[in-house]
A and B are shown apart, each in its own frame.
Chain A
Amino acid sequence: MIKHIAACAAGVALSACVQAPKSLYGWGSYQGQVYEHLKGTSGPEQQITALEADLQRLRAVGAAPPPGYHAHLGLLYAALGKDDAALRELQTEKHLFPESAHYIDFLLSKSVKSAQGEPSKEKTQP
């Protein structure tokens, strides 16, 4: 009898493992915000508010933000002309994900060039 119960328990534990593998990241509303951004139905301020609030919640439960989260925040801050915050977010992305270093460096070198040379282009994102 006890053997049967143990077998059952192991079975349940296994199926629990299969059904809910531990996720690597906390997603919050990230993908929904990206959708709104791509559709142009939500402005940078609204998205920043939502994403920063989500980030607090993710930190509280010890969940890591996914690839692109901080980079997207950087893009939003840049659209508002908040260059310091944009730079901070891009560097956070690069720090969390060294795979992004090449691209982030490319973006930063371009923005430095445009700040020194020709007048910087206004972001056209709403």
Chain B
Amino acid sequence: MSTACFSIRRVGRTALACASLLLMTACATRQAPTYDYTAFKASRPKSILVLPPVNNTPDVMATPAVLAQVTLPLAESGYYVMPVTLVAETFKENGLSLPPEMHAVMPAKLQQIFGADAALYLTVTRYGASYAVLDSAAVVSVSARLVDLRSGQALWSGSASASNNEGGGGNQGGIVGLLVAAVVKQILNSVTDASFPVAGMASQRLLSARPGGLLYGPRSPRYGTD
């Protein structure tokens, strides 16, 4: 009798473990939708021009923080990235100082000046500390569109978010402790530029070559394997 009970409990536990495993895989699949890479594979860009990101948030630091951290994931994925500071300077010298104006320039004109194979259009949709009753986190969300500059054709698009509160948990000290910790964290998040590393995480997530994301570029040893 007792052994029967025990085995039922065991089966239950195994089923639970299986269910949670399934749930996790389901999440992972949702994160990586299959994407139609026909145009991307035909284009095979070597160099990418990253336009300064359009900022749809109230925080003026969103554009510099994201722009400063897009080179790493793209370059490590095998692409040449047009020098971001020089590119911003060239736009300014040509009378364009706001990202939406830069994004409105025709692809052919961008190709003529920068000679890049593709352009990456970024929009920051969330940036900075958000105070939510029990917790506070720096959250950054960015969306991206990669366009072939010779044909004007869209090659890929995607979006990603990151937070410095991921996997956080195990708080102690009751409800008051939680509230105090949240307020302290909010203050810390705004004065120490806590969003900057979070922007780096979002950018890595969005622009590192992976299934569903960008393909590897010609400077990567994994070029042509995906």
Contact = CB atoms under 8 A, between A and B. Distances in A.
B71 A68 contact: yes
Interface stretch (B5-13, B33-41, B79-87): B79-87
Contacts of A35: 64-65, 68-69, 196
B46 interface: yes
Interface in B36-77: 46-47, 61, 63-65, 67-69, 71-72, 75-76
Contacts of B71: 30-31, 34, 66-68
A24 B220 contact: yes
Interface stretch (B88-96, B132-140, B160-168, B178-186): B88-96
A99 B47 contact: yes
A103 B85 contact: no
B115 A106 contact: yes
A73 B9 CA distance: 66
A25 B75 contact: yes
A99 B46 contact: yes
Contacts of A23: 76
Contacts of A67: 71, 75, 79-83
A94 to B, nearest CB: 11
Specify the main secondary structure of chain A where it touches its partner. Answer: helix
A71 interface: yes
Given A31-B69, A31-B71, A100 B196 contact: no
Contacts of B196: 35
A25 B83 contact: no
Nearest to B65: A35
Nearest to A98: B80
A71 to B, nearest CB: 3
Contact of B83 (A71, A102, A124): A71
Given A38-B64, A67-B79, A74-B86, 14 more contacts: A24-B220, A30-B71, A32-B68, A34-B68, A35-B69, A38-B67, A67-B83, A68-B86, A71-B83, A71-B85, A72-B83, A93-B83, A100-B83, A103-B114
22 contacts: A23-B76, A24-B76, A24-B78, A24-B219, A25-B76, A30-B71, A31-B69, A34-B71, A34-B85, A37-B85, A38-B67, A67-B79, A67-B81, A68-B82, A71-B86, A72-B83, A75-B89, A93-B83, A100-B80, A103-B86, A103-B113, A106-B113
